[in-house]
Amino acid sequence: MSNLRALLPSGPVITRDLTASIVVFLVAMPLCMGIAVASGVPAEKGLITGIIGGIVVGALAGSPLQVSGPAAGLAVVVFELVRDQGLSALGPILVLAGLIQVVAGIARLGGWFRAISPAVVHGMLAGIGVLIVVGQFHVLFDAKPLPSGLQNLAAAPGRLFGLSPSNIEATEIAFAVGMLTIAAMLCWEKFRPASLRLVPGALVGVLTGTFVALGFDLDVARVNVPESIAGAVSFPGVGMVAKWADPSILAAALAIAFIASAETLLSAAAVDRMHDGVRTNYNKELRAQGIGNLLCGLAGALPMTGVIVRSSANVQAGATTRMSTIFHGIWILGFVALLPWVLREIPMAALGAILVITGWRLVSLAHARHLLSHYGPLPALIWLATLVTVVVEDLLTGVLVGIGLSMLELVPHLKRLGLKVSEGPQGGAHAINLSGAATFVSLPKLSDTLERAPAGMPVRLDVTGLSTVDHTCAELIKDWFQRRRAAGDVVELLGARGKTAALAH
């Protein structure tokens, strides 16, 4: 019994985790349902993914403070899969995607996903954001999104100009509820008192739209969830393995595994920058995500990733261990099991409104400006090309175009792509000397070298011998440098010049 107590967090830690889990639960509930709606599947599918992401992946994760669940980044992929192949194909695809992630984690490929250019990842997310905005815009009118992003974009003006203030009907009422939800969310985030800063704007927006629809008995479409969450679980049929022979199923599984892994591990790296606790074990996190997606496939739910919005809320709310993530999954399960009638009162237009704001925030123009000002026009061009291709063609094509353009960064250095590293104690400090080319192909090696530097010991990083540093490695070094200094460690950077000069600030 004493051994069991030794494994559990102390009382004050449990209290902080319990409080943080409630905040994350309040953030996650509307997003789980909204992302399911944006994916073209019933809302309860997103809730099942949130439960699995909290309880199972939370217990196994290599990033203890990261929160997993359905992500807006995969909503467009799932929408297209369900549209083209039917909901029954989603289970086999996710089981296979999960197995791919588990194998990648066992093969220790986690670090390589971090080598994907941030310009590609942010361009992909921006493209997804555009597609979510133009798709969920139609949900504001109690209408279904059209099959493609370009069709949704072309039809948007007609929806708006078709409103008639003099003839208030269901469409106008739904749009008013959506606009009220957006206004409540944005106003709360701008003017909320400091004592209530942890109350999420998405929750306030959904509650406002729901109470107005209830109070005035408005005739708008509402969320449809089953009486029992168990009734939402749909296991794949006996022909699941046979479906894996279909090239389209295999391609979809590879795409989901790749995108989910990249988004998860980049989110984990961002979470690490927010706290001073245990750092992410990327291969362990990849294995945990694979198990989570495998279970989501078996349950007929949505795919999952590590999600930065929920994870940042977790850290800001004071979470210290993985128990916060696990608790939040338990709260979702309890709420759905005991109070499903509450969810059935939420207007669809309110969820669409939350997703419009979520999608808009994925289109981070600030990141594009950062790339242009710090690293030149090529990374910014990669971001833009990825975004446009995702919107005009599809997600996988956009990512491949972005990765292809990233290769152009290697062209001037083809004769000297290697990164040489030497490290060891020197003059009372841990010295790291880098020479050659620090490009995304050498990022895992660079990351491992930096993370080996002993904590609490002065570090001297000499980059004099580097002939080039691309923006992927520059961002990695900058984040490591700032984190070490924030922890109170003495870090000396030698030979910073040109693009690497910004690392010292």
Residue 313: burial class (beta carbons within 10 Å; 0-12, 13-18, 19+) = buried
Q: Please say if the pLDDT value at position 498 is more than 60.
A: no
pLDDT averaged over every residue in the chain: 86
The percent of residues in the chain predicted with pLDDT above 90, rounded, is: 31
Average pLDDT over residues 268-277: 78
CA Rg value for the chain:
23
Structural contact between residues 192 and 329, judged by C-beta atoms closer than 8 angstroms: no
At 4 the pLDDT is 43
- Rounded mean pLDDT of 215-224? 90
Record the pTM: 0.80
Instruction: Please determine, for residue 475, whether its predicted confidence score (pLDDT) is greater than 90.
Output: no
Burial of 343 (0-12, 13-18, 19+ CB in 10 A): buried
Closest CA to 111 of 441, 335, 405, 488: 441
Q: 20 vs 13, which has greater pLDDT?
A: 20
Can you tell me the mean pLDDT for 400-424? Answer: 80
CA dihedral 470, 475, 480, 481 (to 10 degrees): 80
pLDDT at 165 over 80: no
Q: Is the pLDDT of residue 383 over 90?
A: yes
Name which of 320, 315, 308, 301 is nearest 52 in CA terms: 301
pLDDT of residue 10: 54
pLDDT at 9 over 60: no
**Domains of the chain, each with CATH number or no CATH:** 11-348 (no CATH), 362-413 (no CATH), 419-504 (3.30.750.24)
H/E element holding 144?
none
How many other C-beta atoms are found inside a 10 Å radius of the C-beta of residue 215? 8
Give the pLDDT band of residue 415 (cuts 50, 70, 90).
low
pLDDT digits (tens, 9 = 90+) for 74-124: 888 899 899 888 888 899 999 999 999 999 999 988 877 777 788 888 888
Which are the contacts of 390, defined by CB distance < 8 A and separation ≥ 6? 76, 123, 124, 126, 127, 128, 130, 131, 397, 398, 399
What is the band of 505 on the pLDDT scale with cuts at 50, 70, 90?
very low
Given pLDDT bands bounded at 50, 70 and 90, which one contains residue 174? very high
Binned at pLDDT 50, 70 and 90, residue 362 comes out as confident
Task: Quote the percentage of the chain above a pLDDT of 70.
Answer: 94
pLDDT at 6: 46
Q: What pLDDT is attached to residue 499?
A: 42
Statement: residue 491 has pLDDT above 50: yes
Closest CA to 226 of 327, 300, 147, 331: 300
Q: What number is the average pLDDT over the span 339-363? A: 89
Residue 409 has pLDDT above 90, yes or no: no
Q: What's the whole-number mean pLDDT along residues 205-213? A: 94
Please state the three-class secondary structure of 8-69 as a single string.
Answer: CCCHHHHHHHHHHHHHHHHHHHHHHHHHHHHCCCCHHHHHHHHHHHHHHHHHHCCCCCCEEE
Q: What is the number of other CB atoms lying within 10 angstroms of the CB of residue 482?
A: 14
Instruction: Give pLDDT, residue 12.
Output: 67
Q: Where is pLDDT greater, at 50 or 164?
A: 50
| Cβ 296 vs Cβ 70: under 8 Å | no
Residue 49: pLDDT over 90: yes
Total residue length of the chain:
505
Q: Does the pLDDT value for residue 1 go beyond 50? A: no
At residue 430 the predicted structure's pLDDT band, cuts being 50, 70 and 90, is very high
Task: Enter the tokens of residue 35.
Answer: 């992302």
